[in-house]
C-alpha cells in the first residue's frame, strides 16, 4: 500500500480546516497558501470530499469550506479511503477466495488479511482531533 500525494494532501487540507474551524468558511486559496499546495490540485481533492459529504461549502465573497462535523468525528482512514479508494495492502484481497487462488496464495492470504486489519485498526483509530492534539502537545506550533 502506498498513499498517493492526493491522499496526503487531502489529510493536510482536512487538518487545516480542523485547525481553523473557528474561522468559519475558509477559502481554498488560503488553505493552498498555508499548505504550499496548488489551489488547482486542492480543487480536485475538494470534489472527492464534497461527494462524500464531509465538507460544507459556501459560495460568494465569504465562501469557502468547513468541516461538516467536529474533528473528532473524522478518522484518517475515512479520509484516505475517500481519496485513495482501497487502502488494502494488496490488490483484490477481498476476492481471493472467489477467484480460485493457488495453494501458494491460499497459504499467505491470512498474512495479508492480518496486515490489512492492522492498517485499518490504526488508520480508523486516529481522528483529526487526535492528530492535532498529538502535534500540539509535542510543543510545536501547529503548521502542516
pLDDT tens per residue, range 22-43: 999 999 999 999 999 999 999 9
Q: What is the pTM of this model?
A: 0.85
Written as nine digits, the cell of 24 is: 468559519
Which residues on neighbouring strands pair with residue 26, listed in sequence order? 65
Q: Report yes or no on 75 lying in a domain.
A: yes
Mapping DSSP onto H, E and C, the string for 70-127 reads CHHHCEHHHHHHHHHCCCCCCCCHHHCCCCCCCHHHHHHHHHHHHHHHHHHHHHCCCE
Tell how far CA 35 is from the center of its chain: 15
Q: Report yes or no on 143 lying in a domain.
A: no
Total tally of structural domains belonging to the chain: 1
CATH number at residue 62: 1.10.10.10
> Alpha-carbon distance 27 to 24, whole Å?
10
Closest CA to 70 of 132, 144, 6, 7: 132
Written as nine digits, the cell of 75 is: 478518522
* Host domain of residue 44: 5-87+128-137
Closest CA to 41 of 12, 70, 1: 12
pLDDT in tens, 86-144: 888 887 776 655 555 565 667 888 888 899 999 999 999 999 999 999 998 887 654 44
Amino acid at each position: 500500500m502506498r498513499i498517493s500525494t492526493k491522499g496526503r494532501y487531502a489529510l493536510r487540507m482536512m487538518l487545516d480546516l480542523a485547525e481553523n474551524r473557528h474561522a468559519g468558511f475558509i477559502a481554498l486559496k488560503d488553505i493552498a497558501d498555508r499548505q504550499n499546495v496548488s489551489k488547482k490540485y486542492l480543487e480536485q481533492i475538494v470534489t472527492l470530499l464534497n461527494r462524500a459529504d464531509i465538507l460544507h461549502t459556501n459560495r460568494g465573497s465569504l465562501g469557502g469550506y468547513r468541516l461538516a462535523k467536529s474533528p473528532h468525528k473524522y478518522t484518517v482512514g475515512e479520509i484516505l479511503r475517500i481519496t485513495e479508494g482501497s487502502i488494502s495492502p494488496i490488490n483484490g484481497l477481498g476476492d481471493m477466495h472467489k477467484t480460485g487462488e493457488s495453494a501458494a496464495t491460499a497459504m499467505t492470504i491470512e498474512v495479508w488479511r492480518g496486515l490489512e486489519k492492522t492498517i485499518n485498526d490504526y488508520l480508523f483509530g486516529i481522528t483529526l482531533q487526535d492528530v492535532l492534539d498529538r502535534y500540539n502537545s509535542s510543543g510545536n506550533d501547529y503548521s502542516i
